[in-house]
Amino acid sequence: MDGMEEQVELVGKAFVEHYYHLFDTNRQSLSSLYQPSSMLTFEGQNIQGVQDIAGKLTQLPFDQCQHVISTIDSQPSSFPGGIIVFVSGNLQLPGEEHQLRFSQMFHLIPTIQGSFYVQNDIFRLNYG
Amino acid sequence: MDGMEEQVELVGKAFVEHYYHLFDTNRQSLSSLYQPSSMLTFEGQNIQGVQDIAGKLTQLPFDQCQHVISTIDSQPSSFPGGIIVFVSGNLQLPGEEHQLRFSQMFHLIPTIQGSFYVQNDIFRLNYG
């Protein structure tokens, strides 16, 4: 593993930890990670822009949840400084005995402030 | 759904159909879809370049398989003309009673010939 590859993996892991921590503890603050150009496809539904994406995420039919991450794969993208992050894991909903498997990908684009925003976000539950 | 969104979905679907058809019938020809800069992360293993990617895909521990696609989600990427495609489905191996669930994402970049190559490819089996 070279230095570039290692840095991409570190950014991917840090982002994933941050993202799902916000999702599970303070979901409305996820809006800080998106920009007007951002796209979310959630279970096949296309949503664009900070407001609509935040609206979708905060109006899901469960108030509390816990993401348990299984795998994180990160690659540099063709966009300069961009990173593609691919996640698999389990979603625990309150009162549900069984966890739901999910997969999600993020395309992270660097901001001029030196952090990243989510340009592309695709989420799918994996039905058995 | 606007025209741009529709076109992105059509390209994503056509690519997915083409990719898994080649995978299931003539796996070595998949090398035509990658370029020297292409990256594959297969079950956590990072591989780069046409030759190494083709080598990995043709040396998987099964000769025959059949992909059955469940969902295809496509979005335009930040790279001009690029498309991100997210796939979920089942993988049937010969002699195996149960299918394996998988998720895979591709970042497609347009070529000067008017087609696309795979710049980023991340594959994961979804263990139940």
Taking the Cβ of residue B6 and every Cβ of chain A, the question of whether any pair is shorter than 8 Å is answered with no
d(CA B11, CA A118): 23
Mean pLDDT value across chain A:
94
pTM, full prediction:
0.95
Per-residue model confidence (pLDDT) at position B128: 58
Here the tokens at position A110 are 């660097």
| Interface predicted TM-score (ipTM) of this complex, two decimals | 0.94
Taking the Cβ of residue A35 and every Cβ of chain B, the question of whether any pair is shorter than 8 Å is answered with no
Using alpha carbons only, give the angle A43, A73, A25 rounded to the nearest 5 degrees.
60
Q: Which residues on B lie below 8 Å from A44 (Cβ)?
A: 71, 73
Residues 6 or more apart in contact with residue B37 via CB below 8 angstroms: B48, B49, B119
Per-residue model confidence (pLDDT) at position B126: 85
Q: Residue B91: left if φ>0, alpha if ψ -120 to 50, beta else—which one?
A: beta
Taking the Cβ of residue B75 and every Cβ of chain A, the question of whether any pair is shorter than 8 Å is answered with yes
A126 and B105 within 8 Å at the Cβ level: the answer is no
Q: What is the pLDDT of residues B47-103, one digit of tens each?
A: 999 999 999 999 998 889 999 999 999 999 988 899 999 999 999 998 888 889 999
Contact A48, A34 (CB under 8 A): no
Domain that holds residue B105: 3-125
Find the residue in A nearest to B2 (Cα): A46
Per-residue model confidence (pLDDT) at position A126: 85
Q: Kindly state the percentage of chain B with pLDDT values over 70.
A: 98
Per-residue model confidence (pLDDT) at position B1: 59
How many folded domains does chain B comprise? Answer: 1
Per-residue model confidence (pLDDT) at position A128: 58
Using alpha carbons only, give the angle B119, B120, B125 rounded to the nearest 5 degrees.
145
Mean pLDDT value across chain B:
94
Task: Extract the residue ranges of chain A whose pLDDT is less than 70.
Answer: 1, 128
Per-residue model confidence (pLDDT) at position A109: 97
Minimum-distance CB partner of A71 among B44, B71, B105: B44
d(CA B55, CA B74): 27
Q: Which residues on B lie below 8 Å from A118 (Cβ)?
A: none
| Residue B18: band (very low, low, confident or very high) from pLDDT cuts 50, 70, 90 | very high
CATH code where residue B37 lies: 3.10.450.50
B21: pLDDT strictly greater than 80 = yes
Per-residue model confidence (pLDDT) at position B97: 86
A46 and B79 within 8 Å at the Cβ level: the answer is no
Burial A69-86 (b: 16+ CB within 10 A, else e): eebbbbbbbbbeebbbbb
Contact A75, B122 (CB under 8 A): yes
Per-residue model confidence (pLDDT) at position A124: 97
